[in-house]
Amino acid sequence: MISNQKTTERYSMFHGDCVDVAKTLPDNTIDLSIHSPPFSNLYIYSADPRDMGNTKDDEEFFEHYRYLIPEMLRITKPGRIAVVHCKDLPLYAGRDGAAGLKDFPGRIIREFESCGWTYHSRVTIWKDPVIEMQRTKAHGLLHRNFAERGEVVRQGCPDYLLMFRKWVDEMPDKQVKHSLVPGEYVGENMPTTYRDDRDYSIQVWQRYASPVWYDIKQTNVLNIKQARDSEDEKHICPLQLDVIGRCIHLWSNPDDVVYDPFSGLGSTGFEAIKMQRRYIGSELKDSYYQASLDNLDEAEAISKQVGLFV
């Protein structure tokens, strides 16, 4: 059921279950999708049974997620890309019988492949292990254990982007083109010395082609405070705008339609609209849906101002 919806020149945002929303979208309309699914049952965003984080275990999570993945394939244009942001998940001795990690990305790859997507590439996004240690107090990251119980220590957990492609032998539609002018770059460490536009473009490509992205501004995220329910602050973990912006730069053209089924605060749409793309999003939780409308409206105002000067 879709309980609310707002459509403007640049976006359509739906308040409802992403599976219901995806079913209403026509075949072959999405140029690029970027989403961060609920990480199985690691966080529960709401008590709603349609909340994909509100599941008892991985099996239940994937049973629900499996309704979305084929719909995403159907609505994506042939040849285009879906980006999934995820990470390894913790195993706890008390709950799982042993402390360690679960290969959540591997499971996502298998689910997408079994629905007909082609696994296209993977990026590792560097994360600071000190921040993870402060946030989670994970035993494996404590210096005390490094000194005295080395067998339990481990590396910090990075984020991953998994890219899937709706495979076609020949691109039937317009292709994604990059004719960069110096200054067009998303992330830190922008090339500063180059011979000409082509050299600049090659240097940008070499940074984007890196399998590990070290140059993402970790704190560049939408403000959590905008979600009005104070309980939300514990749970939502907005995706870094640099990550989204770089994917949009890599895999879409201006005016393309970018889609995020798990819109949260609207980070994907915020960046897409600012970068002169159009956006379709869905979000189940009312406070996030309302917050995302504020963010999308702000992005639309920014993009119109930018449009006046180009």
Ligand X SMILES: C[S@@+](CC[C@H](N)C(=O)[O-])C[C@H]1O[C@@H](n2cnc3c(N)ncnc32)[C@H](O)[C@@H]1O
> Which residues in this chain contact ligand X in the complex, by CB under 6 A?
17-18, 36, 38, 45, 50-53, 236-239, 262, 264-265, 267, 282-285, 288
Residue 212 CB, nearest approach to ligand X (Å): 21
- Between 69 and 239, name the residue whose CB sits nearer to ligand X: 239
Question: Shortest gap between Cβ of 293 and ligand X (angstroms)?
Answer: 13
Residue 141 or 222: the one with the smaller Cβ distance to ligand X is 222
Shortest distance, CB of residue 202 to ligand X, whole angstroms? 31
Which residues fall within 8 angstroms of residue 150, CB to CB, at 6 or more apart?
none
Nearest approach, Cβ of 21 to ligand X (angstroms)? Answer: 8
Among all residues, whose Cβ is closest to ligand X?
A: 264
Nearer to ligand X, 83 or 204 (CB): 83
Nearest distance, CB of residue 77 and ligand X, angstroms: 22
Task: Quote the least distance from Cβ 207 to ligand X, whole Å.
Answer: 23
Q: What is the DSSP string of the chain?
A: -EEEEEE-SSEEEEEE-HHHHHHHSPTT-EEEEEE----TTS----S-TT-TTS-SSHHHHHHHHHHHHHHHHHHEEEEEEEEEEE--EEE-HHHHSS-EEE-HHHHHHHHHHHTTPEEEEEEEE---HHHHHHHH--GGG-HHHHHH-GGG--PPPPEEEEEEE---SS--SPPP-----TT---SSS-----SSHHHHHHHHHHHHT-SEE----TT----GGGSSSTTHHHH--PPPHHHHHHHHHHH--TT-EEEESS-TTTHHHHHHHHTT-EEEEEESSHHHHHHHHHHHHHHHHHHHHHHHT-
> How distant, in Å, are the alpha carbons of 6, 8, 127, 197, 260 from that of 270?
15, 13, 23, 28, 11
Q: To the nearest whole angstrom, how small is the minimum distance from the Cβ of residue 69 to ligand X?
A: 13
Q: Tell me whether residue 215 or residue 271 sits nearer to ligand X (CB atom).
A: 271
**Dihedral in degrees, nearest 10, Cα atoms 52, 56, 59, 64:** -20
Pick the closer one to ligand X by CB: 164 or 262: 262
Question: Between residues 88 and 99, which has the closer beta carbon with respect to ligand X?
Answer: 88
Rounded to 5°, the CA angle 166-127-35 comes to: 30
Q: Which of 232/300 has CB closer to ligand X?
A: 232
* Min dist. Cβ of residue 162 to ligand X (A): 15
Measured from the CB atom, the residue of 252 and 295 that comes closer to ligand X is 295
